């Protein structure tokens, strides 16, 4: 299928989803900018993620808004799980100046690329609201002095481990990649001998999409190899430590990770992990609460820790997270901004943290006893979340999406045996030089 046809089909599917959502109708109230007719409702459409239980929790937040604002109807529709696919759809709507979507859930790496299409939330109460959030994320979302998105939840890559199996095989939580490889092999062999031939040592995100960029940046930074392009706008990706990191990841495939890991995204890895068929998993915090649901076979049998590092390296976790941004083309910008700020408010973030283990961006919630009771690792791994490794979106704006695509395609070519790590990174460096004009270091 050609790219143009695929794009058209995805857009049609999205519009169809919006229509279905309109029929379902989530109804809400608004105190200002009342509709002209008493019974007429202002419709606000919010593009929502649907990874794990995300969509259901967003519906609950919308119900909270409903109790206070009866004259606004909010329509939620889910977008593709792949952030790369989601960005493509968003840009189609924004470049067409479409009024069909009022609020976009955007990745932490997109504000610079999308800023021209977004409202300045400082003009709608965002400046005061921003004081409660982590300052680095507010800075990330501020473009030319304009707050183009309000933080919704933050993310960082984590290592999930089966605590019961570590105890069974008398092992400790691994802190280095060498330790993870050794322990994954021991547990995998032991569980297969015990009868589970579907058991694997380590699952992660290996498909060719933005998630692979996150995983691979963690590999590079944990080996002291930098993060593709430096803040000083130098191309640093082609170096011996980066080559070592990619060769290491390639060695996992077919040994401690399934061959199919190169087609896995977050939910694919979680399905194996939560089904009790993996010793370790790399994923985001959202998987914690899902793993502890009543129907989970691993409930109470796992923990989370910083991702491993190379000897002499450091723990590295890719900075993730999502924001809420209001389209410049919204027919109701004041109401849309009000909805966005409410959805990112302290009471909503607390609910999301407790029920979905979505990391708050509001600092005070990391000392909240109810939040810490539901997700204790928010406190123990606080430094991981506040010192996560950013992707080079600022240094490469407005071309980050293209830079990331080149990077994850190069990494993928190594993982699926199309080329060597040395060739892939050398070619990538030249491609990035042509694309950005930045020097190769």
CA distance 206 to 417: 13
Query: What per-residue confidence (pLDDT) applies to 311?
Result: 87
Q: Percentage of the chain surpassing pLDDT 70?
A: 91
> Could you read off the pLDDT of 175-224 as tens digits, one per residue?
999 999 999 999 999 999 999 999 999 999 999 999 999 999 999 999 99
The structural domains of the chain, with segments of one domain joined by +, span 3-148+321-386, 158-318
**158-318 topology per CATH:** D-Maltodextrin-Binding Protein; domain 2 (3.40.190)
Q: Tell me what pLDDT residue 150 has.
A: 97
Q: Are 237 and 438 in contact (CB under 8 A)?
A: no
How many angstroms separate the CA atoms of 6 and 147, rounded? 33
Task: Round to whole Å and give the CA distance between 221 and 237.
Answer: 10
339: confidence class by pLDDT, cuts 50, 70, 90: very high
C-alpha torsion 146→155→88→406, nearest 10: 110
CB 292 within 8 A of CB 281: no
For helices 400-415 and 210-222, give the axis angle rounded to 10 degrees: 80
Query: What confidence score (pLDDT) does residue 39 get?
Result: 61
Residue 145 CB neighbours (<10 A): 7
Phi, psi at 148, each rounded to 5°? -90, -5
In this prediction, residues 156-173 reach a mean pLDDT of: 98
pTM of the model as a whole = 0.84
CATH number of 3-148+321-386: 3.40.190.10
Tell me the per-residue pLDDT of 271-294, one tens digit each, with 9 for 90 and over.
999 999 999 999 999 999 999 999
Is residue 56 within 8 A of residue 48, CB to CB? The reply is no
User: Angle of helix 54-66 relative to helix 346-356, nearest 10 degrees?
Assistant: 150
Per-residue pLDDT reduced to its tens digit, 296-315: 999 999 999 999 999 888 99
Closest CA to 61 of 292, 356, 329, 439: 356
Kindly calculate the radius of gyration of the chain based on its CA atoms and give it in whole angstroms: 22
**C-alpha–C-alpha distance, residues 352 and 58, integer Å:** 8
């Amino acid at each position: 299928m050609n790219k143009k046809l695929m794009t058209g089909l995805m857009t049609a599917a999205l519009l169809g989803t919006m229509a279905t959502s309109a029929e379902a109708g989530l109804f809400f109230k608004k105190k200002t900018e009342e509709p002209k007719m008493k019974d007429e409702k202002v419709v606000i459409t919010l593009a929502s993620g649907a990874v794990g239980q995300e969509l259901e929790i967003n519906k609950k937040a919308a119900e909270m808004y409903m109790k206070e604002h009866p004259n606004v109807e909010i329509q939620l529709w889910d977008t593709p799980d792949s952030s790369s696919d989601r960005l493509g759809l968003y840009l189609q709507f924004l470049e067409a100046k479409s009024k069909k979507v009022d609020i976009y859930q955007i990745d932490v790496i997109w504000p610079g690329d999308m800023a021209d299409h977004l409202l300045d939330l400082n003009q709608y109460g965002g400046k005061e609201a921003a004081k409660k959030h982590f300052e680095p994320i507010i800075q990330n979302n501020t473009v030319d002095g304009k707050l183009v998105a309000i933080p919704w939840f933050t993310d960082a890559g984590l290592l999930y481990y089966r605590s019961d199996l570590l105890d069974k095989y008398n092992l400790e939580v691994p802190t280095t990649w060498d330790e993870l490889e050794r322990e994954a092999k021991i547990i995998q062999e032991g569980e297969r001998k015990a009868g589970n031939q579907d058991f694997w040592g380590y699952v992660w995100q290996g498909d060719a999409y933005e998630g692979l960029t996150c995983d691979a940046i963690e590999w590079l930074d944990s080996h002291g190899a930098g993060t593709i392009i430096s803040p000083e706008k130098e191309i640093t990706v082609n170096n011996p430590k980066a080559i070592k990191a990619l060769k290491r990841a390639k060695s996992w495939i077919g040994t401690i990770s399934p061959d199919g890991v190169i087609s896995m995204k977050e939910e694919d890895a979680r399905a194996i992990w939560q089904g009790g068929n993996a010793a370790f998993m790399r994923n985001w915090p959202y998987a914690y609460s899902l793993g502890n649901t009543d129907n989970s076979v691993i409930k109470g049998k796992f923990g989370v820790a910083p991702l491993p590092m190379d000897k002499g390296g450091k723990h590295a976790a890719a900075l993730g997270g999502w924001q809420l941004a209001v389209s410049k083309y919204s027919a109701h910008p004041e109401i849309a901004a009000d909805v966005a700020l409410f959805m990112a408010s302290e009471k909503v973030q607390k609910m999301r943290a407790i029920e979905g283990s979505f990391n708050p961006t509001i600092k005070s919630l990391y000392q909240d006893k109810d939040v810490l009771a539901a997700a204790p690792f928010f406190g123990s791994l606080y430094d991981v979340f506040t010192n996560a490794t950013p992707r080079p979106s600022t240094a490469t704006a407005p071309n980050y999406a293209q830079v990331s695509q080149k990077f994850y395609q190069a990494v993928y070519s190594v993982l699926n045996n199309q080329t060597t790590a040395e060739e892939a990174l050398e070619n990538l460096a030249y491609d990035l030089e042509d694309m950005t004009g930045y020097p190769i270091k």
